Chain A
Amino acid sequence: MATNDLKLLGGWFSPFACRVQIALSIKGLDYENIVENLNLKSDLLLQSNPTYKKIPVLIHGEKTICESAIIVQYIDEVWKNNGTSSILPSNAYDKAIARFWVSYIDDKFFNSLRYGLFAQDDESKKKYFEELEEVLLKLEEVFNELSEGKEFFGGENIGFIDVAFGCYLSWLRVKEKFTGTKKFDEAKNPGLVKWAEAFSAHPAVKGILPETDKLVEYAIALAQRLAAAAAADAAPPK
């Protein structure tokens, strides 16, 4: 039984759930990890997150906290003084910059990646992956600026942007397998290439990001379900 009375309703396939796992790992916290089946969501999930019915949800005693970025901030604040490093920067300006980029990543990066991966036609795929390339060029700049020569967006320690962006690495590896192009172009994104290695090797991250082959299988099944749903929507009514 977890001593902190922490439960995570998540899933190994979800980059958002991984963020929470990494945050808990940074803070050295034990928790019960409950993997949800998104095709058959548990009553606990539906009750804990009635607004979105989505993972991750952190259950801390009687309290339920939803939305990965908000959960990470909650963990960072509650266990602020337990001797582990902070996830968010300490000053207000750096916090604002971190929140801005996490928001940008969850919007621009995430949407071009997922629409690209699951687009039904080649023209759309091409368009989304081109957008993705532009976003990565921007993030390369951001990394160079914020890391100040250190390993992470957060500097010496992994921070909010690292945790948020890093959890997409497995899905970028899925894109690699699907498309045959590397997740980061070594010529255009040399900083991100090094960062990805450092992030994946970090002790708080090890074992949390799913293996690529397992995620590829998951992605293929998901793509099939999405294609079937799209076909059902498009079919003329009988």
Chain B
Amino acid sequence: MEDIKVFGLWSSPFSQRVVWTLKLKGVSYEYYDEDLANKSNLLLQYNPIYKKVPVLVHNGKPISESMVIVQYIDETWPQIPLLPQDAYERAKARFWSKFIEEKSMQMMEFFLYDGERQERAIKETLDILRVIENESGLSEKMFICGNTIGLADIALGWVAHTLPVMEEIVGVKFITIDAFPHLHSWVKNFLEIPVIKNNLPPHEKLVEYFRERRKVFLAMASHHHHH
């Protein structure tokens, strides 16, 4: 009898990676949604380093960092593999997964600011998306590094449904069919996967949540400006 617990946050892109992966593989788990202002004792015990979600606890053993968790799940439950069999193809998939993972926070920065700083952040997001559009092989395959959903797609997944929420609030649109034809298709293909489609946080709730977060971020940003 497997004991699998997930500590997450319904609105967090990083948490979602773990939930999608478990659902894709048909693995059952207990889910605990964390109130980050008031972290549970269990969370602090299982992730003392970063004190963050997501955390996966399998038979009492904790693992943190979303993409480390995703690889662990993939290796432990091999059905619906997220990585190819071939070592070289695996290295490429890991490369893109790492690139996306590293750049994700930066891609979201436009949401934290306004004015000139936001302009710069918007440009950076576009630059990163351009690299993924042109260099990750999306022109040849349906998904990043393959024709089925993989590690890098899980890493990028937040772009398919959380990014549009941020765009809606701020009033920008990144992945247009003209500017990013491959990513545009990728978003459609990603959202059509039944497990993904059925495991997205409700759009309106997410908009409300991120609208509040944006107010907090803008207040923090202006506080640092010392006029």
- Select which of B68, B87, B95, B131 is within 8 A of A66 by beta carbon: B95
Known interface pairs A92-B72, A93-B58, A96-B72; A78-B65 also in contact (CB < 8 Å): no
Q: Flag if B98 contacts A95 (CB, 8 Å).
A: no
| CB-contacts of B39-95 with A (<8 A) | 49, 58, 61, 63-65, 68-69, 71-72, 75-76, 87-88, 90-91, 94-95
Q: Does A222 contact B (CB under 8 A)?
A: no
Q: Does B174 contact A (CB under 8 A)?
A: no
Q: Flag if A99 contacts B64 (CB, 8 Å).
A: no
- Select which of A65, A100, A138 is within 8 A of B63 by beta carbon: A100
> Closest B-chain residue to A142, C-beta based?
B49
Q: Flag if B68 contacts A70 (CB, 8 Å).
A: no
Q: Flag if A100 contacts B91 (CB, 8 Å).
A: no
Q: Flag if A74 contacts B88 (CB, 8 Å).
A: yes
Nearest chain B CB to A91 CB, angstrom units: 9
A contacts with B: majority SS: helix
- Select which of A74, A95, A104 is within 8 A of B91 by beta carbon: A74
Q: Flag if B98 contacts A67 (CB, 8 Å).
A: yes
Q: Flag if A71 contacts B91 (CB, 8 Å).
A: yes
> Closest B-chain residue to A104, C-beta based?
B49
| CB-contacts of A54-73 with B (<8 A) | 60, 63, 65-67, 70-71, 73
Q: With a CB–CB cut-off of 8 A, which chain A residues contact B135?
A: 50-51
Q: Does B210 contact A (CB under 8 A)?
A: no
Q: With a CB–CB cut-off of 8 A, which chain A residues contact B158?
A: none
Report Cα–Cα, A205/B65, bound state, in Å.
30
Report Cα–Cα, A50/B132, bound state, in Å.
12
| CB-contacts of A63-115 with B (<8 A) | 63, 65-67, 70-71, 73-74, 77-78, 92-93, 95-97, 99-100, 103-104
Q: Flag if B65 contacts A74 (CB, 8 Å).
A: no
Nearest chain B CB to A136 CB, angstrom units: 14
Q: Does B29 contact A (CB under 8 A)?
A: no
| Residue among B68, B98, B99, B135 facing the most chain A CB atoms (10 A cut-off) | B68
Q: Flag if A93 contacts B95 (CB, 8 Å).
A: no
Q: Flag if A92 contacts B49 (CB, 8 Å).
A: no
Q: How would residues 137 to 177 of chain B score, 1 for a CB under 8 Å from any chain A CB and 0 otherwise?
A: 00000000000000000000000000000000000000000
Q: With a CB–CB cut-off of 8 A, which chain B residues contact A74?
A: 87-88, 90-91
Nearest chain B CB to A122 CB, angstrom units: 23
Size range of the interface on B?
20 to 34
Q: How would residues 100 to 142 of chain B score, 1 for a CB under 8 Å from any chain A CB and 0 otherwise?
A: 0000000000000000000000000000000100010000000
Q: With a CB–CB cut-off of 8 A, which chain A residues contact B87?
A: 74, 77-78
Report Cα–Cα, A104/B48, bound state, in Å.
13
Q: Flag if A95 contacts B90 (CB, 8 Å).
A: no
> Closest B-chain residue to A77, C-beta based?
B87
Q: With a CB–CB cut-off of 8 A, which chain A residues contact B69?
A: 96
Report Cα–Cα, A7/B9, bound state, in Å.
45
Nearest chain A CB to B12 CB, angstrom units: 18
Report Cα–Cα, A66/B97, bound state, in Å.
12
Report Cα–Cα, A99/B75, bound state, in Å.
13
Q: With a CB–CB cut-off of 8 A, which chain A residues contact B68?
A: 96, 99-100, 103
Report Cα–Cα, A97/B99, bound state, in Å.
20
| Residue among B87, B94, B135 facing the most chain A CB atoms (10 A cut-off) | B87
Report Cα–Cα, A92/B58, bound state, in Å.
11
Q: Flag if A95 contacts B75 (CB, 8 Å).
A: yes
Report Cα–Cα, A96/B62, bound state, in Å.
10
> Closest A-chain residue to B135, C-beta based?
A51
Nearest chain B CB to A95 CB, angstrom units: 7
| CB-contacts of A129-155 with B (<8 A) | 138
Known interface pairs A66-B95, A71-B91, A77-B87; A103-B72 also in contact (CB < 8 Å): no
Q: With a CB–CB cut-off of 8 A, which chain B residues contact A100?
A: 63-65, 68
Give me the 8 closest cross-chain CB pairs, A-B, nearest first. A92-B75, A96-B72, A77-B87, A74-B91, A65-B91, A96-B63, A92-B76, A70-B94
Q: What would be 6 A-B contacts, judged by CB atoms less than 8 Å apart?
A: A66-B95, A70-B94, A73-B91, A96-B69, A99-B68, A103-B65
9 additional contacts (CB under 8 A) given A70-B98, A99-B71: A63-B88, A65-B88, A65-B95, A70-B91, A73-B91, A74-B87, A74-B91, A100-B68, A104-B49
